[in-house]
């Protein structure tokens, strides 16, 4: 009798997990470290993290020589909003930490960035643009 109850609980748990995944939950085991440890992973979560990392590396390559961008971590949020990265930007005088989100049309959104182009549209403050636009905004703000 106990074994049947355990099977029923397992089935209920599996159904619950499947329902969570169907509602857009991010796979908890897929983060930046997982992608680094499994470079051939081609699931949707891993590919999305790789794309964000690639965009951030492109931005890093476009920055002035005195401006440094470091990726601290990349994590998944959910299957609708995708992953986000914690980055640190510094120029020797200023050092700030930002959260960067993926957006539609290959754009990124740097949450609470001092150069704000999103709060006028009833959105939260931050800077939204293609990687080249984000690099330009970083160069403009951290030029000193």
Cα–Cα distance measured from residue 80 to residue 91, given in angstroms and rounded to the nearest whole number: 34
Give the pLDDT score at 22. Answer: 55
Give the pLDDT score at 44. Answer: 87
**Residues with pLDDT less than 70, the chain:** 1-23, 28, 144
Give the pLDDT score at 97. Answer: 98
């Amino acid at each position: 009798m106990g074994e049947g109850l355990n099977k029923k609980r397992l089935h209920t748990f599996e159904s619950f997990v499947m329902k969570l995944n169907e509602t857009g939950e991010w796979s908890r085991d897929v983060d930046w470290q997982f992608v680094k440890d499994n470079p051939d992973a081609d699931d949707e979560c891993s590919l999305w993290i790789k794309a964000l990392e690639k965009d951030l590396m492109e931005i890093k390559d476009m920055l002035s020589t005195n401006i440094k961008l470091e990726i601290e971590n990349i994590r998944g949020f959910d299957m609708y909003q995708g992953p986000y990265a914690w980055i640190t930007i510094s120029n020797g005088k200023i050092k700030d930490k930002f959260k960067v989100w993926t957006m539609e049309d290959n754009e990124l959104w740097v949450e609470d960035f001092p150069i704000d182009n999103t709060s006028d549209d009833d959105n939260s403050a931050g800077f939204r643009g293609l990687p080249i636009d984000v690099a330009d905004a970083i160069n403009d703000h951290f030029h000193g």
